[in-house]
Structure 1
Amino acid sequence: MSDCIFCKIANGEMPSVKIWEDEKFLAILDINPNTEGMTLVLPKEHFDSDAFLMSEKDYLELMLASKKISEIIKKGLNVNRVAMVMEGMGVNHVHIKLYPLYGIEKEFEEIWTKEKVFFKEYQGYISTQLGPQANIEDLKKIAEEIKNNQ
């Protein structure tokens, strides 16, 4: 697409800082990172930003490229974990955001925040923080709605 910033980056029409590239995908450092080394993985071909609209083949290839890049980030930045987000907002070109998780030990440990969040509507970002504990009856109603509208 001629007006897509990620297509322009993939075609070399706009500058970026690449950390990895193959014939189908590239990984660039985010120009607006919220942590050092935040990386975007994007296909060179334009796809709608809703990753779940991709063919299974293209989707799996994107996931495998992201996995490969996460290993590169782990080694390159000496981190033990990398988080992955597929929000599908901001730029209408499918992409995966990879976040190096600094300060995480090799062995798994539970890490929780005290603050709870809950959003009725999309706020321009997502959060992995837990919300307040839901009522089981409310959850059952939501489950029924999902099941009945498949």
Structure 2
Amino acid sequence: MTQHWHAYTYTGRAYPDGAVRQGQAPADFPPFLVEDWLRRPPRSIEATFFDIDQAVGWLETQLKQNQPVDAEGIPIPERLRAARARLGEQVQKDVVWGWYTTRQDFASRALIACPRPKRHMYADDSPPPCPTP
């Protein structure tokens, strides 16, 4: 299977870890484990990218639509350069960001690499399969 990235989004209220663990956060709230994004129903995927430029373009659109409150401290072009470098690394790499917006929402955007390698060389658990085979 060709390397690609699934894009996921959440915008809304932030929840403390304890509330998330107790099931008090909505079902679309970001999971604790990055690979758990891929265990969500395929309908939760916003887009799928096979090209780094398109994936970074999607992130740019998301950042412009959901302006970070700290955009002056960490400018959008700097964030995008970091994302491009991360996605361009040889092994499957993800970009998982969360920030507060100027509208006082919590925004989470994730580009999750797929397919995933096994996490531990001797682990019996398999990585989640591609949600869109």
TM-score bracket, normalised by the shorter chain, equals under 0.3
- Report which of the two has the higher share of strand: 2
Higher RCO, Cα 8 Å, sep 6+: 2
Q: Looking at CA atoms only, which structure, 1 or 2, has the larger radius of gyration?
A: 1
TM-score, normalisation: structure 2: 0.27
Q: TM-score, normalised by structure 1?
A: 0.25
